[in-house]
Amino acid sequence: MALLTLSDHLHDIAENSINAGAKSVKVTVRETENEFYFSVEDDAGGIRPDILEKIFDPFTTTRDKEIRRVGLGLPFLKQAAEATGGYVRINSELGKGTKTEVLFRKDHIDCQPVGDLPGVFLILLMNDGIEWHIIRCYNDDCYEIRSETIRSYIGSLDAPEKVRILMEFLNELENSIEKN
C-alpha cells in the first residue's frame, strides 16, 4: 500500500488492528485548518513490551518472516508526521489493547493531502467481524458512525448496491461538516 495521503496512514493503522485480531475498534479523526489528528484504539490484546520498544524500527515486524521481513507502515507514519512538526504516540497494555495517536501539521509544506476519508471508512466498515465506532470532526462540527447501526439498517455489505448506498451516505456525512 502506498502511503500517499493522511487517509492512507489512517487505513494502515486500522488494518494493524484488524490483523492483530481486534473485535472492537474506535477511530477518531479531528481536523482543523492547521491540524489533522487521528487515533485508532482497539481491543486486540496489546503489544508485547519487547516489540513496543522497537515498534518504529523498519526491520521489526510481527508478521511471518517468510512473508514479510520488514514493517514499514509505522516508520513511514512517524517520519511523515514528524516532518510536519507532528507526532506518533502508541500506548499499549498487554492483554487489553492499543491506542495509536497521530498529529500532522497541515500548514507545513511537507504535509500530505488528507485524501479520501469516506473511502477509508467504507473499507473499514466492510469488515463484518469488527464493531467500528468512527468519530469524524472538522473544528466543532462532527458526525459519528457505528457499524452496528449501519448493519441494523442495511445488513451485511454483501451486495454492490448496499456498498453504493453506504458510500453515498458516507460522502453525505463528510459533505455535511463545515470546512472553511
Instruction: Kindly state the average pLDDT of the residues 115-135.
Output: 96
pLDDT attached to residue 92? 94
Domains and CATH numbers, the chain: 6-176 (3.30.565.10)
| Each residue's pLDDT tens digit, 39-98 | 999 999 999 888 888 888 776 665 554 444 445 678 899 999 999 999 999 999 999 999
> Mean pLDDT in the chain?
90
Instruction: Kindly state the average pLDDT of the residues 130-159.
Output: 94
pLDDT attached to residue 71? 56
Q: Return the percentage of the chain with pLDDT > 70, whole number.
A: 91
Q: Inform me whether the pLDDT recorded for 144 exceeds 90.
A: yes
DSSP the chain: ----SHHHHHHHHHHHHHHTT-SEEEEEEEE-SSEEEEEEEE-S----HHHHTTTT-TT--SS-TTT-S---HHHHHHHHHHHTT-EEEEEEETTTEEEEEEEEETTSTTPPP---HHHHHHHHHT-TTSEEEEEEEETTEEEEEEHHHHHHHH-SS-SHHHHHHHHHHHHHHHHHS---
Instruction: Kindly state the average pLDDT of the residues 5-18.
Output: 96
Inter-residue contact 42 to 28 (CB < 8 Å): no
pLDDT attached to residue 7? 97
pLDDT attached to residue 121? 98
